[in-house]
Every structure is written in structure tokens, then in C-alpha cells.
Amino acid sequence: MLAVFFVIALILSIWVNQWLLKTLKDTTIRKEDRSKLVRWAAQEKPAIGGFSFFCLFLIACSTLFLAPNITASAAYTTSSFYLLFLTSTIGFLVGWIDDAYIMPASFKLIGQLVCAAIMIVGGITINISGNWGFNAVFTTFWVVGIMNSINMLDNMDGITTSVSAVIILSILLVLGKTTTINQADTWILIGVFASLLGFLYYNWSPAKMYMGDSGSQFLGVFLAYMSIQYLWGIRQEETGIFSIQQLLIPALAFMMPLIDTTTVFIRRIARGQSPFVGGRDHTTHHLAYCGLSDSQVGIVFVAMSLLNFLLIYWIINHINNWSFANSLLIIAFGLLCFIGMQFLYEIGKKRQQANA
């Protein structure tokens, strides 16, 4: 049944995006506000892809009421479904308003903090310690951080769309290994995954349309929520003490957006520049400065994301007892990826300066 729903959702996504492209083709960032933004592509394109994400999300949520075998599950009757729906809706609306009116960065930050607060009040927290206050603060940082990193990664054709799709695959992988599969969440994840693949047809380089902040903010809060529910729960010790393996799975799943955001924040602050001001200084841009085409940059990010997915698969299926060596090996891999990206960043920076 999930396979049938995926195919239907994929077809619907392609159709919705095609309809949006024809109907709202003039829905771009207002020309008088272009000075506030720094876009990689030279041509203006409609930033409406987020509508298709939210539309498929609503369809997936609505069809739950028509599927007795899913709605009968205990997981569906909990408040977690309504928390997901509320926070995802807020994320979409915050991004939509920002797309329409080019709001200050504080507007998005307030919306992100509201989403985090709703999750925490509803009991959706990252239980990384035995202290509820610390867990709440850490959860807030995670939600705000992921919403910003997904937003910041949306700077080149197809990058955020494809990376987010692989993150959903990682979440589905972990969800499938749990003893009690949440059928409702699986259904919704499949729906959003199909919406990303359908949109990717129009978003891969050369893109015909962008997702806009409505898409990146929706994806950010959606992925943050699902990762808290499934990726942050993998640990051996049931004590309240922090365990390193609990951090590794989400870090691997979100490695590419986290590397990009961390790189941009560190380098902009070092230059005395606000990290929230846009620019062509992302890891994606510097790969292009190295000589890669937009499509090749996208392939690099997809390949790295799939490599992380395979590593998560290996961890889930072959590591029964965590050891210091296991953790050290995975941490070393992450550091190698980060250092390698910095090396390529510097090469791209030098080539950009040489060509200036």
C-alpha cells in the first residue's frame, strides 16, 4: 500500500509543480528587493516549490483518515501527529510570508523559536541528558539550527531538494528498524519524499523553479521534528548521561547542511560579517569556483549524502555493541569530510580571487 501511495504522490507532485509553474510563473522575488538578496543563478525563477511540499504533506495527512489500518495504530492517536502538523504549518507560513515580503532575519528566527517551543511543550525533546532544562535548550538549538541550515543550503539548483530526500531515506531506515513502526509517520514521510522527487524534476540544474523559504522552512521544521522522533533515540545506555553514539546518527544524516552552515558561520564571523547576510560564499559556490558545473556540484552533494546513508545503514545493521573504536572511526570520518570540504573551499577561494 505504501508503494501505491508513493507512486500516486509522485505523480501528484509532478502535476502540482507543473500547474504551479504555469499558473504562478510570475511569482518571483520582487525586483525592487533584489538588492537584499544574493542569488547564484542569474535568471529570476518562481520560488513556489514549497507549495507543492505542503500540498503533498496535507494530502498525506488527509488520507490517514481514509486508511483504517493506519488510523487504527496507537501511534496515530497520540498528540505527536498534531504537533507535527502544527509546527510544519507554521514553518511553511513563516517562509511564505518571508518570500512575499522579504522579512528581516528576526522574523524567521521568531517563527523557528515558536516551532521549537511548541515541540518542547508537547513533549518532543532530545533526551540527551537527565536534565529537562538542558534537553529543552539543546532541542531549541537543534530545531533552529536545522531550519537555518536547510534554508542556507538552498543556494544552488537541486541541492537542498536532493539532500533532504536522502535525509528522509535515513529517517525511514531508522524507523523501519524500530520494534514498533509508526505507520502514520511512515505514510507522511513517504508523501513528503515523493513531493521532493517530483519537485526535483523542475529544480535540478538548470532549474525551472525554486522552493523558496516556504519550502526550506517547511522542510527544516519537518526534518527537525522527524529526526528528534527517530534519529536522536539511538543509544545503548538508558541512563540520563550523554552517550556519544546518540549524536552520531543525526550528525551523519544532516552532515552536508551542517558542514555548509558551520563553514559559512565561522568564515563570515571571522570576516566581521553577519552570518545571516546572504552571499556567494557557501561550500556549494566554492565547488563551482573549483571548476565544477552546477549539476556536478549537485552530484557531489548527493553522493556524499548517500555515503552517509550507507554508513547509517551499516551502523544500524552491524554494530550491536558500541565501542570507543566505533565512535572514534565515525567521528574521524566526519572530521575528514569537514576538513576535505575546507580544503576544496580554499582552492575555490583562490581561483575566484585569481579570476576576479
Model confidence over 93-147: pLDDT tens digits? 999 999 988 888 899 999 999 999 999 999 999 998 889 999 999 999 999 999 9
Q: Which three cell numbers stand for residue 83?
A: 504537533
The CB-based long-range contact list for 36-42 (8 Å cut-off, 24+ gap) reads: 36/102, 37/102, 37/278, 38/278, 38/279, 38/280, 40/155, 40/156, 40/280, 40/284, 40/285, 40/288, 40/294, 41/156, 41/157, 41/207
| Confidence at residue 297, expressed as pLDDT on a 0 to 100 scale | 96
The tens place of each residue's pLDDT in the chain, 356 residues long, gives 789 999 999 999 999 999 998 887 655 544 444 434 445 665 677 888 999 999 999 999 988 877 656 554 544 556 788 999 999 999 999 999 999 888 888 999 999 999 999 999 999 999 988 899 999 999 999 999 999 999 999 999 999 999 999 999 999 999 888 756 678 899 999 999 999 999 999 999 999 999 999 999 999 999 999 999 999 987 665 555 557 778 999 999 999 999 999 999 999 999 988 887 778 899 999 999 999 999 999 999 999 999 999 999 998 888 777 778 888 999 999 999 999 999 999 999 999 888 87
Phi and psi angles of residue 82, each rounded to the nearest 5 degrees, phi first? -70, -30
Domain edges within the chain: 2-27+45-355
Query: What pLDDT sits at residue 245?
Result: 77
pTM value is 0.92
H-assigned helices in 102-237: 105-121, 132-153, 159-177, 183-203, 212-230
pLDDT at 63: 86
pLDDT of residue 32: 40
pLDDT recorded at residue 26: 54
